[in-house]
Chain A
Amino acid sequence: MRSKEITGLFFYNHSGLYPDPIDYSELIRYSYLFENVAKAYTYSDFIWNEKNILKKIEENNFKRIIIAGLIPGTVKALFSKAMALAGKDPEKVLLASFNDYCTGTLFNPERLKIVLASIISGIPYEFTGIPDELPVNNATLVVGGGISGIQAALEIAYSNNLVYLVEKSGTIGGKMATFDKTFPTLDCAACILTPKMVEVNQHPNIRLMSYSEIIEVTGRPGNFNVKVLKKARKVNVQTCIGCGTCAEKCPAQAPSEFDAGTCMRKAIYIPFPQAVPNKYLVDAENCIYLKNGKCKACVKACPVPGCIDLDEQDSEVIINVGNIIIATGYKPFDAGRMTQFGYGQFPNVLNSLEFERLLNASGPTSGNIHFRSQDKKGNWIFNTSTGKPEKIAIIHCVGSRDKNFNKYCSRVCCMYSLKFAHLIMEKLPEAEIFEYFIDMRSFGKGYEEFYERIKQEDVSIIRGKTAKVEQHGEKLFLRGEDILKGEILENLVDMVILSVGLESGEDAGKISEMLNIATNTDGWFEEAHYNLDPTGTCRGGIFLAGTCQGPKDIPDCVAQGSAAAARVIQSILKGRIRDDSMSVSLEHVERKIEELSTVPI
């Protein structure tokens, strides 16, 4: 026991979780085993105000106070003041947060006791809760080939270590590859991303496994065995020359995933012209041969013999790695869930990813803004045959900051919406643009300046979200309150863009189960420590990068990708890696406390 001072323990059990998963009576019983704990209280024992706390301090002559619970910092000020009023050291108010230290979403009681034991004895968790170290395999697996995954893979590859980059879709690049420009610098997204993608493909230390998924992970930190499902691409990546003859002949069509469904692609396709690997693949769901057993137009057209094998089957590969970086990204909020905005009912209500493709020079309309129309087969797509909108409304916070959908702020929507306004002004200088926002969150470096710049341009930025979008003839009708002017704003526009928020990826649940890492209530992966370890997880050798951990913009994704890589390289250089934080037992911590207590300061 390092600390001998009389300690008051206060459990802040005002967690807002129903039912409260934590058994406070058990924790109180445990804390009384320490001789320096004079008294333990919970939030429901008495009314926590300055006067009452002061009374408790004076009654028990507390020299030190520990507040334990979920986000205990909320009430710290009360205690510091009460300590000062009692003539004691206000600095001696310590916090034991149950959110951190890998207690998991179920608040494992043993982990909670470890946190308590460390803080009560006065020896920080960072010394008592150190897991054992294990030898490490130098190879690394990066799951997800978006900008975060690419960054992490390149950082590790340049340190002369082997990286497996597993990507679910046919090309790496992720969501960023579909964007037109990045905010606030208005860089062309493809121009800065595609060189990196090519770098990944050509790097001798990177084994790119596109159109593959991880399906099983076994082993311990430093030595994971990962089973990877290589989905049948049905085109030989080695021999395909990317000429495109097959796609020309293919009679089957499907909406292009890369273009967010704004145009059609063939059943044998390349996601986009700069795809990496720049090879074709077959969409088994829409291929006529795979459905009916007849066609093979692509095989006949292909100039390379044996390149297309429509009967190829999925295969499995097992790879052995020391570390895993998760960079699985996000999925956009499904705007159709907010029925009041008419997404999916009215053709010219778009979500932001669709509009991003519409703006993009490599998109369906070569970067010209046109209306959505039906093609001969009845598919709603964009093409240049229709007119151009004159009035465009952009609605912020679709699906975000809304208790009915997602409570959190998706962080990027305000800025990309402002970027849209600017890009529309560039392409359609005559157009009128209306931004309907609640609060403008321009939080990053240069973002507020970007907002000021857009305000100078001829954009109507209206405070007040619209309630609904209705189709009035050809036009879309919006009714909103202009809060700053204090009036009702009724508006007929040609096109509505919904700034949809970010949601955790489709596979987040599956991956969290596979790797035994926690997700929070919104489905984002839980980091080891909110402030101090945002890339680590409670498992050793598994790190997070990019939007799979929470909504963030491109610079933050890149930074986190690099940070995760640094953690991996650290373990490789050291040759050893820490085991899972959860592997530390309470006995181990208690033994450690005994040991360290004897060390003189």
Chain B
Amino acid sequence: MSVRVQPELRNQLIQFGIGDWNACYHCGTCTAQCPLSEEGFLFPRKKIRLMQMGLKNELEASVEPWLCYYCGDCSTSCPRDANPGELMMSLRRYLTSIYDWTGMSKKFYTSELWELGFIIAFAALVVLSFLIVLPSMGYHFTRELTAEGGVQVNAFAPIHVVETFDWTMAAIVASLLISNILRMYYKIIWKYGNMKVSIWVHIREFWLLILNFTVQPKFNKCDDKRYWLSHWFLMSGYTIMFIVIVVYLPWFQTEKILPVWHPQRLLGYYATFGLLFGLFVAIIGRIQRKDIKFLFSHISDWLFLAMLTLTAITGILIHIFRITGMPVATYISYIAHMSVLVPMILIEVPFSKWSHLAYRPFAVYFQQLKKYAVPR
């Protein structure tokens, strides 16, 4: 396969983050330092080389940026202040935009106006549907409390309507993500990788995908183990919340106030704790900027953290107001909750930072496939 140099790559990449890859003089310290870098999958230096040379196709075909969990050891030891860790982060943003066929991802990453505009538009749609569409369908909020003294949430936001909406949203997001993953597969294995992998290998190595989705064992291979735990709490909290809200909404959004030990409440409390703990570590880190991992913050990092925090806080408020029987407050926080949650899921999951929930485990899976691949 011929190698094509694309000098304009520099101008494209520069929009996705901070870093000076021309500073790199290829001493190899970063690769040697990285416990995740392994035979055949060398990074960060090799990827910086591709960036310097403008080898766009090779960059798009690489899984390595997704194998990096940004402990920052490479940036600390870099003798040239080239910040290889941040360059990998920028590459992940770039790759997200490359996998995305709609072109929205690139817009969101490179223009704050687009990202903020869409968030506000989605939020406005949510508010409007609560204030106009639902009442016109005959669902009004009521100040009447249930027999136990709780708020009648379902009168205001009927389960079957919300559930239908949830499933629609999940379907849109999933179809976008899956199509992007197929493009990722195409680029990594098929087009530029130019290799053949048997179907049996695909099936045999599938367990890696599930393992990496659930516990991120690679993250724990970093020398700095602290962030694996906080990330895992955040991830597990979010996943539980997502499954409960989309799949088991009738079981979760009840008007009946269940006892504290009931699995519904326990799961909810665990998920809230996990989310808050992970968010706390990330936000404090990004404010303090002591750790090299948090030294550079792209606008998308902050927006994501802000939206997730708002979602968590409004979720807690709904719960508190519902069981204490404060209908107006409950409804307001419900609207607020939905108007942050909807843009977050619609924008962050398929197009922005949140998409790594799919790309990272798939990258590990594809890496494994590459190991067993034969040249086509």
Highest count of chain A CB atoms <10 Å: which of B27, B33, B37: B27
Identity of the chain A residue whose Cβ is nearest the Cβ of B26 in the assembled complex = A483
Q: Check B81 for interface membership: any CB of A closer than 8 A.
A: yes
In the complex the two chains form, is B45's CB within 8 Å of A483's CB?
yes
Q: How far is the CA of A468 from the CA of B33 in the complex (A)?
A: 7
Chain A residues, CB < 8 A from B33 = 467-468
Q: Check B31 for interface membership: any CB of A closer than 8 A.
A: yes
Q: Of the candidates A401, A402, A405, A464, which one forms a contact with B28 in the assembled complex, judged by CB atoms under 8 Å apart?
A: A464
Task: Convert A444-471 into 0s and 1s, putting 1 for each residue whose CB lies closer than 8 angstroms to a CB of B.
Answer: 0000000000000000000111111000
Q: How far is the CA of A401 from the CA of B37 in the complex (A)?
A: 24
Chain A residues, CB < 8 A from B39 = 487-488
> Quick one: which of A476-497 are within 8 Å of B by CB?
479-483, 486-488
Highest count of chain B CB atoms <10 Å: which of A397, A405, A466, A483: A483
In the complex the two chains form, is A466's CB within 8 Å of B79's CB?
no
In the complex the two chains form, is B28's CB within 8 Å of A483's CB?
yes
Closest chain A CB from B292 CB (angstroms)? 12
Q: Of the candidates B32, B37, B38, B46, which one forms a contact with A465 in the assembled complex, judged by CB atoms under 8 Å apart?
A: B32
Identity of the chain A residue whose Cβ is nearest the Cβ of B46 in the assembled complex = A486
In the complex the two chains form, is B32's CB within 8 Å of A479's CB?
yes
Identity of the chain B residue whose Cβ is nearest the Cβ of A406 in the assembled complex = B79
Highest count of chain A CB atoms <10 Å: which of B29, B32, B37, B77: B32
Task: Convert B350-375 into 0s and 1s, putting 1 for each residue whose CB lies closer than 8 angstroms to a CB of A.
Answer: 00000000000000000000000000
Q: Check B165 for interface membership: any CB of A closer than 8 A.
A: no
Q: Of the candidates A438, A466, A467, A481, which one forms a contact with B25 in the assembled complex, judged by CB atoms under 8 Å apart?
A: A438
Q: How far is the CA of A486 from the CA of B26 in the complex (A)?
A: 12
Give the interface size bracket for B toward A.
20 to 34
Closest chain B CB from A433 CB (angstroms)? 19
Task: Convert A398-416 into 0s and 1s, putting 1 for each residue whose CB lies closer than 8 angstroms to a CB of B.
Answer: 0001111100000000000
Q: How far is the CA of A488 from the CA of B38 in the complex (A)?
A: 7
Q: How far is the CA of A397 from the CA of B37 in the complex (A)?
A: 23
Identity of the chain A residue whose Cβ is nearest the Cβ of B30 in the assembled complex = A467
Q: Known contacts A467-B77, A483-B45; decide if A488 and B27 are in contact (CB<8 Å).
A: no
Q: Check A516 for interface membership: any CB of B closer than 8 A.
A: no
Q: Check A340 for interface membership: any CB of B closer than 8 A.
A: yes
Closest chain B CB from A392 CB (angstroms)? 19
Q: Check B42 for interface membership: any CB of A closer than 8 A.
A: yes
Identity of the chain B residue whose Cβ is nearest the Cβ of A464 in the assembled complex = B28
Identity of the chain A residue whose Cβ is nearest the Cβ of B45 in the assembled complex = A481
Q: Check A439 for interface membership: any CB of B closer than 8 A.
A: yes
In the complex the two chains form, is B32's CB within 8 Å of A480's CB?
yes
Closest chain B CB from A342 CB (angstroms)? 14
In the complex the two chains form, is A438's CB within 8 Å of B27's CB?
yes
Task: Convert B94-118 into 0s and 1s, putting 1 for each residue whose CB lies closer than 8 angstroms to a CB of A.
Answer: 0000000000000000000000000
Q: Of the candidates A340, A465, A479, which one forms a contact with B27 in the assembled complex, judged by CB atoms under 8 Å apart?
A: A465
Q: Check B80 for interface membership: any CB of A closer than 8 A.
A: yes
How would you classify the secondary structure of chain B's contact residues: helix, strand, loop or mixed? loop
In the complex the two chains form, is B28's CB within 8 Å of A481's CB?
yes
Q: How far is the CA of A480 from the CA of B45 in the complex (A)?
A: 12
Identity of the chain B residue whose Cβ is nearest the Cβ of A486 in the assembled complex = B42
Closest chain B CB from A289 CB (angstroms)? 49
Chain A residues, CB < 8 A from B31 = 464, 481, 488
Closest chain A CB from B296 CB (angstroms)? 17
Chain B residues, CB < 8 A from A482 = 28
Chain B residues, CB < 8 A from A464 = 26-28, 31-32
Q: How far is the CA of A483 from the CA of B25 in the complex (A)?
A: 12
Q: Of the candidates A439, A486, A488, which one forms a contact with B32 in the assembled complex, judged by CB atoms under 8 Å apart?
A: A488
In the complex the two chains form, is A488's CB within 8 Å of B25's CB?
no
A-B contacts at CB below 8 angstroms, number: 62
Identity of the chain B residue whose Cβ is nearest the Cβ of A340 in the assembled complex = B77
Closest chain A CB from B263 CB (angstroms)? 47
Highest count of chain B CB atoms <10 Å: which of A466, A467, A468: A467
Chain B residues, CB < 8 A from A340 = 77
In the complex the two chains form, is A439's CB within 8 Å of B25's CB?
yes
Q: How far is the CA of A457 from the CA of B180 in the complex (A)?
A: 53
In the complex the two chains form, is B32's CB within 8 Å of A467's CB?
yes
Chain A residues, CB < 8 A from B80 = 402-403
Closest chain A CB from B58 CB (angstroms)? 13
Chain B residues, CB < 8 A from A481 = 28, 31-32, 37, 42, 45
Identity of the chain B residue whose Cβ is nearest the Cβ of A479 in the assembled complex = B32
Chain B residues, CB < 8 A from A404 = 77, 79
Q: Known contacts A481-B32, A483-B26; decide if A403 and B45 are in contact (CB<8 Å).
A: no
Identity of the chain A residue whose Cβ is nearest the Cβ of B33 in the assembled complex = A467
Q: How far is the CA of A468 from the CA of B26 in the complex (A)?
A: 16
In the complex the two chains form, is A401's CB within 8 Å of B32's CB?
no
Closest chain B CB from A122 CB (angstroms)? 40
Task: Convert B7-43 into 0s and 1s, putting 1 for each residue whose CB lies closer than 8 angstroms to a CB of A.
Answer: 0000000000000000001111111110001110010
> Quick one: which of B102-154 are within 8 Å of A by CB?
none
Identity of the chain B residue whose Cβ is nearest the Cβ of A462 in the assembled complex = B28
In the complex the two chains form, is B46's CB within 8 Å of A467's CB?
no
Chain A residues, CB < 8 A from B27 = 397, 438, 464-465
Closest chain B CB from A106 CB (angstroms)? 27
Chain B residues, CB < 8 A from A463 = 26, 28
Closest chain B CB from A259 CB (angstroms)? 31
Identity of the chain A residue whose Cβ is nearest the Cβ of B49 in the assembled complex = A483
Chain A residues, CB < 8 A from B25 = 401, 438-439
Chain B residues, CB < 8 A from A438 = 25-28
Chain B residues, CB < 8 A from A465 = 27-29, 32
Q: How far is the CA of A468 from the CA of B76 in the complex (A)?
A: 13
Chain B residues, CB < 8 A from A479 = 32
In the complex the two chains form, is A487's CB within 8 Å of B42's CB?
yes
Q: Of the candidates B30, B46, B79, which one forms a contact with A401 in the assembled complex, judged by CB atoms under 8 Å apart?
A: B79
> Quick one: which of B324-357 are within 8 Å of A by CB?
none
Chain A residues, CB < 8 A from B79 = 397, 401-405
Q: How far is the CA of A467 from the CA of B27 in the complex (A)?
A: 9
Q: How far is the CA of A486 from the CA of B38 in the complex (A)?
A: 11
Chain B residues, CB < 8 A from A405 = 79
Q: How far is the CA of A467 from the CA of B28 in the complex (A)?
A: 8
Q: How far is the CA of A486 from the CA of B27 in the complex (A)?
A: 13
Chain A residues, CB < 8 A from B26 = 438, 463-464, 483
Highest count of chain B CB atoms <10 Å: which of A438, A468, A488: A488
> Quick one: which of A10-59 are within 8 Å of B by CB?
none
Closest chain B CB from A164 CB (angstroms)? 42
Chain B residues, CB < 8 A from A439 = 25
Closest chain A CB from B300 CB (angstroms)? 28
Q: Known contacts A340-B77, A401-B79, A481-B42; decide if A488 and B29 are in contact (CB<8 Å).
A: no
Closest chain B CB from A25 CB (angstroms)? 32
Q: How far is the CA of A168 from the CA of B79 in the complex (A)?
A: 34
Q: How far is the CA of A464 from the CA of B34 in the complex (A)?
A: 14
Q: How far is the CA of A596 from the CA of B358 in the complex (A)?
A: 79
Q: Which 5 pairs between the two chains have the least Cβ-Cβ distance?
A: A464-B28, A402-B79, A481-B28, A467-B32, A467-B33
Which B residues are within 8 Å of any A CB, using their own CB? Answer: 25-33, 37-39, 42, 45-46, 77-81
Besides A397-B79, A463-B28, A481-B42, 18 other A-B contacts (C-beta < 8 A): A340-B77, A397-B27, A402-B80, A403-B78, A403-B80, A403-B81, A438-B25, A438-B28, A439-B25, A465-B27, A465-B32, A466-B29, A467-B33, A467-B77, A468-B32, A468-B33, A481-B32, A488-B32
Which A residues are within 8 Å of any B CB, using their own CB? Answer: 340, 397, 401-405, 438-439, 463-468, 479-483, 486-488
List 26 A-B residue pairs with CB atoms under 8 Å apart, sorted by A's residue number.
A397-B27, A397-B79, A402-B80, A403-B78, A403-B80, A405-B79, A438-B25, A438-B26, A438-B27, A438-B28, A464-B31, A467-B29, A467-B30, A467-B32, A467-B33, A468-B32, A480-B28, A480-B32, A481-B32, A483-B26, A483-B45, A486-B42, A487-B42, A488-B31, A488-B38, A488-B39
